[in-house]
Amino acid sequence: MAGCASPAAPAPAPAEPAPYPAPEGFGDVEIWYYWETPGHQVALGELIAEYNANNPGTTVSANYVPFADFKKQLSLGASADILPDLVIIDSPDHASYSIMGIFEDITGKFDVSQYFEGPINSATLDGALYGMPFGINCLALYYNTDMLSAAGVTPPTTWAELKDAAKALTSGNVYGLGSRR
């Protein structure tokens, strides 16, 4: 989750979660999200309803943007200076939008000590925190031990080693690294 900023006027500071009271006059807070599943949408709606009930003077609303259109809508919103206060995005997208200046620097506004380093790093750019990990993808990398042995390569443990291993394993129609969706 990341807070958006506007070049013309900085976005308000992110709201604290219920039951902590919102600052006086915090007003309306708009969230864009892309969750497709009804369960996610219902859970978000319930959280927002609870927050709104416990924080008079603040009204949080959530607007669904289809996943296929989300990145385009956020980029267009940045160009037109029409952005929400918060967005729920995939962690790999934090860096690109932070570079574009869409997200507000929230360094020091949240206690990140209870988060794993990887998810926090995904929302950090040049030492500044631009979002809070809301969820992460748990991915795994499988490798073919026979192919590694034949190429004289040990299983990689770093990104640099993975890149080197992929190059060493690529030959003809065989690629050293592939992905599936």
Which pLDDT tens digits describe the chain residue by residue (181 residues)?
655 554 444 444 444 544 445 555 568 999 999 988 899 999 999 999 999 999 888 999 999 999 999 989 998 998 898 999 999 988 878 888 888 888 999 999 989 998 888 889 989 999 999 999 877 776 778 889 999 999 999 999 988 999 999 999 999 988 888 754 3
22 Cβ contact partners less than 8 Å away, ≥ 6 residues apart: 15, 16, 55, 57, 58
Amino acid at site 169: L
The count of residues in the chain is: 181
Show the domains of the chain with their CATH numbers.
2-129 (3.40.190.10), 140-181 (no CATH)
Q: State residue 94's pLDDT score.
A: 85
